[in-house]
């Protein structure tokens, strides 16, 4: 198995693998990514093949700092303010691509824009110092639950990555929030680890969520996503026979064969960090269905509920 604890040595080896056109899985503070050098078309094509990802769905380019981001895309005042407030961290900014940046068209699905993010995880940062930009989607098969542990990546992708750098469980557990600064006003393309209210506080005005059926605005927002094999039932207050329970908060109904509580204390940060691992584990529990207790829709709850709704879409 290609899972290796992240050390100076294995990070250097991973950087070499990227430079040689191979794929590397690495931890970020949100979820694990499956990376390739963004200038190498063949390497990038391997990501789409490995994930079975439609080629109209562009990848995020991870960069070490704002300066590198600005060499790849055009940043205005609001983009710079967002970068200053949230980078390094779980915010992705979609901006107009500079053609001279050397990003393969496949990375951006032929769009004139590019999604950029400066991750905060020390392993991702060390890898970026060695390898410069890295194009990376989440390291799961398309439509499946994003990996928040190295073992999840191995379960999803086996030995497709040359190396899976193990940096432990991801502290945030939800993917980055994606904001486009391409139009007249910034717009949210994906809810994520930075709550909407924090973005609004930096911008000084409200920000809308793009219509989820606008194909160009958010090509990755496929309705059925983050999907376990087991059916998911939302807003459950009682348990039906054969159900496993994804609980939240102190008052948990009885009767489930298996229960995982995302946060007995009702803390949304803790719930976000544990969400994907919990869904994976309940999916493997053999239950007939997964009942999910109601989760408040404020702060990070908005993104948690977004992922749960997608997980629950009937197939």
Q: Which of 92, 138, 230, 263 binds Mg ion (CB under 5 A)?
A: 138
Helix (H, G, I), strand (E, B) or coil at 125: helix
Would you count residue 31 as binding ligand TXA (CB under 6 A)?
yes
The annotation status of 136 as a binding-site residue, yes or no, is yes
Q: For residues 10 and 138, which CB has a smaller minimum distance to ligand TXA in the complex?
A: 138
Tokens of 104: 């393969």
Q: For residues 137 and 167, which CB has a smaller minimum distance to ligand TXA in the complex?
A: 137
Helix (H, G, I), strand (E, B) or coil at 74: strand
Q: For residues 149 and 175, which CB has a smaller minimum distance to ligand TXA in the complex?
A: 175
Following CA atoms 97, 99, 101, 102 in sequence, which dihedral angle do they give, to the nearest 10 degrees?
120
Q: Which of 11, 73, 87, 113 binds ligand TXA (CB under 6 A)?
A: 113
Would you count residue 230 as binding ligand TXA (CB under 6 A)?
no
Would you count residue 137 as binding ligand TXA (CB under 6 A)?
yes
The residue number with the shortest CB distance to Mg ion is 138
Would you count residue 148 as binding Mg ion (CB under 5 A)?
no
Please report how close the Cβ of residue 228 comes to ligand TXA at its closest, in angstroms. 17
- Considering only CA atoms, give the Rg of the chain: 19
The residue number with the shortest CB distance to ligand TXA is 220
Q: Which of 15, 44, 131, 136 binds ligand TXA (CB under 6 A)?
A: 136
Tokens of 241: 């026979």
Residues 5, 182: Cα–Cα separation, whole Å: 39
Residues 253, 243: Cα–Cα separation, whole Å: 12
Would you count residue 58 as binding ligand TXA (CB under 6 A)?
yes
- If you ran DSSP here, which 8-state letter would residue 210 be given? P
* DSSP string covering 1-35: --EEE--HHHHHHHHHHHHTT--EEE--SSS-EEE
What is the contact mask toward ligand TXA in residues 155 to 184, using x (rule: CB under 6 A)?
A: --------------------xx-x------
Residues 99, 116: Cα–Cα separation, whole Å: 15
57 binds, among Mg ion, ligand TXA, none (CB under 5 to 8 A by kind): ligand TXA
**Interacting span for ligand TXA (CB under 6 A) from 3-11, 27-35, 236-244, 300-308:** 27-35
The annotation status of 176 as a binding-site residue, yes or no, is yes
Residues 277, 263: Cα–Cα separation, whole Å: 13
Distance of CA 25 to the CA centre of its chain: 13
Helix (H, G, I), strand (E, B) or coil at 166: strand
The annotation status of 117 as a binding-site residue, yes or no, is yes
The annotation status of 113 as a binding-site residue, yes or no, is yes
290 forms beta bridges with 232, 244
The annotation status of 190 as a binding-site residue, yes or no, is yes
Applying CB under 6 A, the residues found at the interface with ligand TXA are 28, 30-31, 33, 57-60, 90, 92, 94, 108, 111, 113-115, 117, 136-138, 175-176, 178, 189-190, 218-221
Applying CB under 5 A, the residues found at the interface with Mg ion are 138
């Amino acid at each position: 198995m290609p899972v290796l604890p992240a050390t100076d040595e294995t990070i250097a080896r991973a950087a070499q693998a990227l430079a040689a056109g191979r794929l590397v899985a690495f931890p970020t503070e949100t979820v694990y990514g499956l990376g390739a050098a963004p200038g190498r078309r063949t390497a990038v094509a391997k990501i789409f093949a490995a994930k079975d990802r439609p080629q109209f769905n562009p990848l995020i380019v991870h960069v070490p700092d704002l300066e590198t981001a600005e060499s790849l895309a055009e940043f205005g005042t609001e983009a710079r303010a967002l970068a200053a407030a949230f980078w390094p961290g779980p915010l992705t900014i979609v901006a107009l691509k500079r053609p001279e940046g050397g990003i393969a068209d496949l990375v951006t699905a032929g769009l004139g824009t590019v999604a950029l993010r400066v991750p905060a995880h020390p392993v991702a940062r060390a890898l970026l110092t060695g390898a410069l930009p890295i194009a990376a989607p989440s390291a799961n098969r398309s439509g499946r639950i994003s990996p928040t542990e190295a073992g999840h990546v191995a379960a999803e992708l086996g030995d497709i990555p040359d190396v899976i750098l193990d940096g432990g469980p991801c502290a945030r557990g939800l993917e980055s929030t994606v904001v486009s600064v391409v139009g007249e006003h910034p717009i949210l393309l994906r809810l994520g680890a930075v709550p909407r209210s924090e973005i609004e506080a930096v911008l000084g005005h409200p920000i809308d969520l793009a219509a989820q059926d606008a194909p160009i605005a958010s090509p990755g927002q496929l309705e059925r996503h983050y999907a376990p094999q087991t059916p998911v039932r939302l807003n459950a207050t009682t348990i039906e026979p054969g159900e496993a329970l994804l609980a939240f908060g102190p008052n948990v109904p009885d009767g489930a064969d298996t229960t995982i509580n995302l946060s007995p204390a009702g803390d949304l940060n803790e719930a976000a960090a544990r969400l994907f691992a919990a869904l994976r584990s309940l999916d493997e529990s053999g239950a007939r269905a997964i009942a999910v207790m109601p989760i408040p829709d404020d702060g990070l709850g908005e993104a948690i509920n977004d992922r749960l709704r997608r997980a629950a879409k009937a197939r």
